[in-house]
Homo-oligomer: A and B are copies of this chain.
């Protein structure tokens, strides 16, 4: 790969994450100004988003048809939902520039990794990725709310990924502001993410689902707000993530219910000592997690 400032970069899907990546590329001086260094292209189905991004100098060129853009891009960020992503790769496989480095941002990695191991063109490199950042307010208009600083980024490399491309992408990710890049396999990613991300969203949704009184927030002290902020979710995307990763997610829900039932029983039986012991273990474990971070 050429140095990033000599590359033509393409973003497919200028939503929350696509927009946030474009902003980080500009604001962090990776591509200092429109037209000066390497080019930043974007394609999207929304004409108003493209014209806003073009008008502000965020991107150098906009495309409504991906083919034209892909033919010129050395590096492509696919910022699409999992199902759209698979279809997009199938439909546009022929359009990519030979030698291009491609990466995605989908929150589940099993299916895309399996398909790419099998079907990716020989002269392309595709590194599946998952930036652990976001905002409950979606879309390009909220891209500025998506803060990368210190956040986690997971890569689930294919067997065929070139080591130098992996290092190249990891370096770029850190320059975008992320705090840590972890390499793992797609199975482990999907298992862990079922817990840290999908289970948390299901729990937040269930908490809101079981209380119809919207004035309950008069009795909120921060915990409730923190636990349920993510219930303001992007419905199609999370439906897709829950269903796509359902085996792992259901396993995690069962585990969580087991722990919840154990606590419930201690409370129901008034077992003060047992409850204190269990809560002390929880407190220490969560504190260890914080210190590990």
Contact = CB atoms under 8 A, between A and B. Distances in A.
Interface in A211-262: 211-212, 214-233, 235-236, 238-239, 242-243, 246, 249-250, 252-253, 255-260, 262
Interface string A187-215: 00100110111011111111111111011
Given A230-B226, A250-B268, A260-B257, A207 B203 contact: yes
Interface string A256-282: 111110111001101010011011111
B243 A253 contact: no
Contact of A223 (B230, B280, B287): B230
Contact of A133 (B151, B221, B257, B258): B221
A45 B289 CA distance: 32
Contacts of A218: 152, 154, 180, 182
A235 B283 contact: yes
Contacts of A220: 132, 152, 196, 293
A288 interface: yes
A182 B215 CA distance: 11
A228 B293 CA distance: 14
Given A217-B292, A233-B279, A279-B205, A223 B239 contact: no
A198 B11 CA distance: 44
**How many protomers of this protein does the assembly include?**
2
A258 to B, nearest CB: 6
A202 B263 CA distance: 7
Interface of A (DSSP majority class):
helix
Contacts of A255: 210-211
A286 interface: yes
B243 A219 contact: no
A38 interface: no
A134 interface: yes
Contacts of A272: 239, 243
18 contacts: A132-B220, A151-B222, A152-B221, A195-B224, A200-B207, A200-B223, A203-B203, A203-B227, A207-B256, A210-B252, A212-B285, A214-B285, A220-B293, A231-B286, A233-B279, A235-B280, A250-B267, A253-B260
Given A132-B219, A225-B293, A235-B279, 12 more contacts: A134-B221, A152-B220, A182-B219, A195-B219, A203-B227, A210-B255, A217-B289, A223-B230, A226-B229, A232-B287, A249-B267, A250-B264
